[in-house]
Structure 1
Amino acid sequence: MDQKNFFYLHCVLRLAIIILVAEILAMLLFDVTGLEDSLSQLAEAVLDGVLLVTLSSYPLYLFVYKPILKSFKKDQQQIEMLAEALQGAGESVIITRPDGEIVYVNQAFSDVTGYSQQEAIGGNPNMLQSGKQDRHFYERMWASIKSKGQWKGELWNKRKSGELYPEALDVRSIPDEDGNTKFLVGVFSDLTEQKRVENALLQTQKLEAVGTLVGGVAHNFNNLLAAISGKAYVAQVKAKKSGAPDAVIENLDDIQTLSFDASHLVKQLLAFARESQHDKENITLAAALRDAVATAQIGIPEDIEVKLDLSSEPMTIFADQTHIKQAIINLVNNARDAVRSSVVKAIHIRLYPSQPENCCDRGACHIHCKNIACLEIQDTGTGINSSDLDKVFEPFFTTKEVGQGTGLGLSTAHGIITSHNGSIHVRSTFSKGSTFKVCLPLAESDQTEVTTASKTPVQVSHSGTILVADDAIEVRKTVASVLESFGHHVIQASDGIDAIEKFYAHQHEISLVISDIVMPRMDGVDSVLEMRKTYPELPVIFMTGYDAPKEKTQKILDNETSMLLNKPFKTAELSKLVNKLINRNG
């Protein structure tokens, strides 16, 4: 017997005892007073009833009615508390009869599905069916409820608006005393945001995997580019000496230029796919913008018009060229997606110089400099809801459908711009489109020096014996040919161990080591550390086809006799470093 039934039995016993005692007292009173002899039978019965009620009323109130009333109020409070808890619960709750008729839904249900309580009660849960699950899915669900009294899983349902959404559903059967289903209670959670975050994290993991793949490809690809550009330089030198036509020399020069352009594309892939180190330098923003837009247009359909409006004034910024291009590409891609379903599909890109005091967003801008470059990317899309404007730069926030965006594009662009001491703002008008405005501080630059540096003839002040170690044979042979054209004697090694053996065989002759970092058997850093046990001040130029591992290079690049050269490199860069290190000893 449960506690509740025991309580009511106890109250019944109290009731019986109180009535019995009251009746005994009434009978004693009749005996003492002798009233039963002087009253008629009817009068005696009425008086007996009055005495019974009078004598038992207060004990019944005190020992029966009051405890029952207290228990009832306690139960009522619990019911009200549970009802309020269900109504205010964050999870959606639905209660149905065995035949599927809805008898209760809470407020969270209405918030998620769009159906009010009045619309839902009396209806059937099949009004939420999305059509994504087939008949067999529901057959398995009901089979589990009937056999186990419970089903738990994920499915797709449909809101009143027609929008599909994922949910986690837990259905339980509430049995009656005979074990038959009395009610079905379903509790479900909207998984839309969770799925969005999961998809974004999945995309991030994909990018990490792509980064690993690109890193390996970059190393091999840059080795090829280094060999191509080096061979083109050697061929160009020989062509000039033999008096070859200018067209041949120009073509060889173009091959070198195209090699470096291809290498720059690899750097862009590395920057997009994973975090990488880059150096800031003075760059022409207009040129970077043209390159970024040209890259972005690869993924822009032909029915979208892209208009580029650039000021003729030179605008130089101190920036990481790859990162700035990535930010621009992200903004252009965002504009592309915004106009995809518009009647008028156009993207207008403007670049012009300005001053902070003339900027309409100066109240929210943190830039403190004399001159700025303003970049505006305007689209003819449907615009952004005013409630979403403050969220567009948040990581993982997106207004696109699930699976259509990671929510990282604008947040990445925002991070890049702010890391360059710039600012980015957005204005949007419903049904007319949005404008993203980027402001970057201008820097003084000497473009003449940058432009003419690659045209300066290679000067060699001292010649020496150089050990070149690289497992890529074409790179090794090409670097050797370039160095020999400078007048140096070259010893070649195929890996780190071979380099050590060659070094000890010619240690009194070698004045410089040029080594690739990543090689089989032993890498370049470890082999150089072994060589420096004998010759601590050994000058070294490390070559790498991608970002060098920090844990490897940080212990050796701090030395002033160690330099790093990224493949592919210009012959002028190689000559400059070689001369600097050889002349240091000569």
Structure 2
Amino acid sequence: MQDRKRVAALILILIAVAVVVSATASVVLYQAAVERERLRLIDLVRSQARLMEAVAEFDQAHLPAGEDAAAATLGQIKTAFTRFQRTGLGASGEFVIGRREGERIVLLLRHRHTGVDFPASIEWSGPTAGPIRAALSGQSGSMVGTDYAGDAVIAAYEPVAILGLGLVAKVDLWEIRARYVRAAALSGLITLIVVAGAAALVYRLIAPVMRSLEESESRVRALLDASRDEMMLLSADGTILAVNAAAEQRLSDARHEGAAIGHGLDRFLPERVAAARMRAIKNVLARGAPVRFEEAIGDRTNDCCIYPVKGADQPSSEVALHAHDVTADRRKEAELRLLYRAIEQSPVSVVVTDPAARILYVNPKFSEITGYSQVEAVGQNPRILQSGNKTKEEYAALWQQLTAGQVWRGEFINRKRSGELYCEVASIAPIKDQNGKITNYVAVKEDVTRLKATEAQLRQAQKMEAIGQLTGGIAHDFNNLLTIIIGNLQLIQESVANDEMLRVFAEDALWSAQRGAELTHRLLAFARRQPLTPTASDLNAVVRGISDLFRRTLGSAIEIREALAESVHPVVVDRSELERALVNLAINARDAMPDGGVLTITTENLTLGENYTARYPDVAPGPYVLLAVTDNGIGMSPETKSRILEPFFTTKPPGRGSGLGLSMVYGFLKQSGGHVSVYSELGRGTTVKLYFPAAPAPMPAVPEKGGRGVAPTFAGQVVLVIEDHERLRKVACAMLARAGFVVLEAGDCESALAQAAAAERLDLVFTDLDLAGGMSGHEIAARVQALRPGVKLLYTTGYSSVPASLPDALSQPPPIVAKPYARGTLLRHIGALLLAGGEPVA
């Protein structure tokens, strides 16, 4: 069937070639005819022009004086051309004589187109004046163009200078073309008839041969299809020329449905297999000898043989392939290879030893973790990793368990080739033969050093959180008590102003209460519950401002150095608390350098990546500004460093420190969204690094708070005090009454709302944020403001700050007075709120 198609294709090609040749010949003949016509017209127009010039010269020489020789000559020429028979120019040929008059050409003579529809003159620069314009310009030659009638012509032109005329001889192109179109059509028809007849004759002659070949091919096909092995005939480029049934079935099952013949091996086989077969084919054709090899296709393995197909006295250009399925024999080998690759690429260490614990094999992960290459490890005993963290008894128990045929699971703290310690979780099992005898041991181990460090960080964070919650609650209760004490002491001070002894006693008691307030402030800072006033700050400006203070106060033995980045991102922090934190760090650095030293303060923009933040669960990756305080003092041991952030932990002698300095720094950083890390070595010094999140965009700075001034009076103004602690409410009311306020008081929500609704006038609501009864000071204030829209709000708290989401009625967070507060502080906040309408004054 394929041979019949090839013969038919050959016949069609012959017919197409004949048609192309005939058409090409016609085009060439047409071009030759055009050229001959052009040369003929040139000769004709030149001879006529010379004749006209001769007649003009004769007339000028022989006509009597006074007669117009040019007019006489032109008349003779017109008469001659009128009588001239145009047999030599064809059906469309003619002579045209013209003369230029201004910007037009007057046509004096035309053989054709003499009717009134054609112009007697044409424009000099018009598109139809080409040939006659060239002649009148003194040129001679030929062109293919458009004549005065707009027809496509081939024209020859010549000037008649003696008469000032131009002569054109032309023939229409359609007349030349028509003759050769008819000839080409006739030639093509004759060619098709001849080729078709020859093709039919050839087909009748070779048809019996083709049938014989088809019968022979059918018998060979039946023989090949009876085999279960794959057989195929391939060309030198890997194209499949013939296949038996087994090969076609497997190729179709492999990747594509349909016939395989005519396609390359890469269509049906994996790239690796197709490339291997192509290399073998090239080898066979180059050597002229068979090649045998094995190949794996999916889960099947073939034993292949490729041998050349030789023709008579011709080099081999085709090969035959025979493939026998040996999958069953190779499956176990493939499984072993897969197991080996899995161990080689395992993400955990794998070690195999003999019964005497000599290392026979280690995988690449073992080398990556320990630093011992496979060459260095093989033949050694696993004790090369021992660090001394396990006792001999523990190792003896391990071996006893293994030799009893049991699996041992546990942890090792081992030593790498570099000397670095690392922690790994291991499972060690005996390997037994078919008789149950132990022939080897295999250990599977995973490095958990980083996991252990992360767990330790998490435990420390949870521990600090628990301590913070405890200290925060205690500090809140103390703040309430201290507010009562400080308020009453201030009231007593005013009452005993004339009694010097009682006044001194009251001042001492007030001083002690204020020191207690400072202590609770530090506890709240550690617990991350102190009220903050964050503003956009430049850490470089803060450092420069406080460095001068350090130089004056830390003593001449301490050298202050600044290593500030040229420009750092702004950060959002409470500046006063930041300065307090720096003072605590500077004091600790001074105490760590009893003989003097260098205190260095550094700033830097940096980005904390995921590799860093993965070790600290509460730190988010992103841009930060680093503020580092470094001393070259005595340093700390690892045990001390692990506890320095805990409240009340101190290494200083009794009376020298409260143990709250660094814990306050820790709480302040956490409350500001930052992070603290400490690096220290004994004898080399300590570096405390404070990481502040960079502000997302430039923020306007908050103006400095005003001075303290004198507390104003508020005679006649009405304030509603909301406080669930009765004694504390009593003190607050007394302070405000002394200032001139009309005071309304409430201990719960219902009472507060009732008084707010009933009061004729209400200027200010002063409420605690943390109220008993299920409703916060925010919610009560919002409801009061809904009743009295113009009322001012002032909060107080023992630790809370304004929450992230306020009630809908509160668009802006009201100011806060932190407990414990003094009477002057409270009145200054109220003065700024009521009298100035601005922020409270500290």
Specify the TM-score bucket, using the shorter chain as the normaliser.
Answer: 0.5 to 0.7
The structure where helix makes up a greater share of residues is 1
Matched-pair contact (CA < 8 Å) for 1:129–1:157:
yes
1:572 maps to: 824
2:725 maps to: 472
Letter in 2 for 1:468: V
2:575 maps to: 320
- The answer for unaligned runs of 5 or more in structure 2 is 1-289, 295-301, 306-323, 563-570, 608-626, 646-661, 693-699, 838-842
SS in 1 for 2:720: strand
Q: For the structure 1 residues 376 and 502, does the alpha-carbon distance in structure 2 shift closer, same or farther, using more than 3 Å as the test?
A: closer
Question: Deviation at 1:83?
Answer: 5.8
2:558 maps to: 307
2:739 maps to: 486
Measured in 1, the distance between the counterparts of 2:524 and 2:821 equals 13
Matched-pair contact (CA < 8 Å) for 1:196–1:402:
no
SS in 2 for 1:240: coil
Measured in 2, the distance between the counterparts of 1:108 and 1:444 equals 54
Measured in 1, the distance between the counterparts of 2:741 and 2:293 equals 117
Matched-pair contact (CA < 8 Å) for 1:236–1:253:
no
Residue-by-residue CA offset, 1:220-248 (whole Å, 9 max, x unaligned): 22222322332232223223366778756
The reply to whether residue 92 of structure 1 matches residue 353 of structure 2 is no
The reply to whether residue 180 of structure 1 matches residue 433 of structure 2 is no
Report matched runs for 1:104-503 at 5 Å: 104-115=361-372, 117=374, 120-130=377-387, 132-133=389-390, 150-159=407-416, 164-240=421-497, 247=504, 251=508, 254-255=511-512, 257-258=514-515, 261-271=518-528, 277-280=532-535, 307=558, 309=560, 320-326=575-581, 348-349=598-599, 377-379=630-632, 404=642, 453-454=707-708, 456-500=709-753, 503=756
Question: Deviation at 1:276?
Answer: 7.5
Q: For the structure 1 residues 281 and 403, does the alpha-carbon distance in structure 2 shift closer, same or farther, using more than 3 Å as the test?
A: closer
Letter in 1 for 2:778: V
Q: For the structure 1 residues 492 and 80, does the alpha-carbon distance in structure 2 shift closer, same or farther, using more than 3 Å as the test?
A: same
SS in 2 for 1:171: strand
Question: Deviation at 1:188?
Answer: 0.9
Q: Which moved more, 1:60-69 or 1:79-88?
A: 60-69
The reply to whether residue 545 of structure 1 matches residue 795 of structure 2 is no
1:517 maps to: 769
Q: For the structure 1 residues 490 and 244, does the alpha-carbon distance in structure 2 shift closer, same or farther, using more than 3 Å as the test?
A: farther
Task: State, as a whole percentage, how many aligned pairs show the same letter.
Answer: 23
Q: For the structure 1 residues 157 and 581, does the alpha-carbon distance in structure 2 shift closer, same or farther, using more than 3 Å as the test?
A: closer
Measured in 1, the distance between the counterparts of 2:356 and 2:530 equals 57
SS in 2 for 1:216: helix
The reply to whether residue 507 of structure 1 matches residue 775 of structure 2 is no
Q: What is the RMSD of the two structures over their aligned residues, measured on CA atoms? A: 6.0
2:321 maps to: none
Q: For the structure 1 residues 147 and 239, does the alpha-carbon distance in structure 2 shift closer, same or farther, using more than 3 Å as the test?
A: same
Measured in 2, the distance between the counterparts of 1:143 and 1:203 equals 38
Q: For the structure 1 residues 567 and 433, does the alpha-carbon distance in structure 2 shift closer, same or farther, using more than 3 Å as the test?
A: closer
SS in 2 for 1:550: coil
Measured in 1, the distance between the counterparts of 2:550 and 2:405 equals 60
Report matched runs for 1:18-97 at 5 Å: 86=343, 89-97=346-354
Residue-by-residue CA offset, 1:60-85 (whole Å, 9 max, x unaligned): 99999988999999988987786676
TM-score (norm 1): 0.59
Matched-pair contact (CA < 8 Å) for 2:542–2:579:
no
Matched-pair contact (CA < 8 Å) for 1:467–1:492:
yes
Matched-pair contact (CA < 8 Å) for 1:130–1:157:
yes
Question: Deviation at 1:219?
Answer: 2.0
Matched-pair contact (CA < 8 Å) for 1:292–1:329:
no
Letter in 2 for 1:226: T
Higher relative contact order (CA 8 A, sep 6+): 1
1:103 maps to: 360
Residue-by-residue CA offset, 1:113-141 (whole Å, 9 max, x unaligned): 45554554334334544554567766775
Residue-by-residue CA offset, 1:180-204 (whole Å, 9 max, x unaligned): 2222111212211111122112222
Measured in 2, the distance between the counterparts of 1:347 and 1:275 equals 34
Measured in 1, the distance between the counterparts of 2:601 and 2:644 equals 28
Question: Deviation at 1:404?
Answer: 4.1
Matched-pair contact (CA < 8 Å) for 1:263–1:568:
no
Question: Deviation at 1:546?
Answer: 1.0
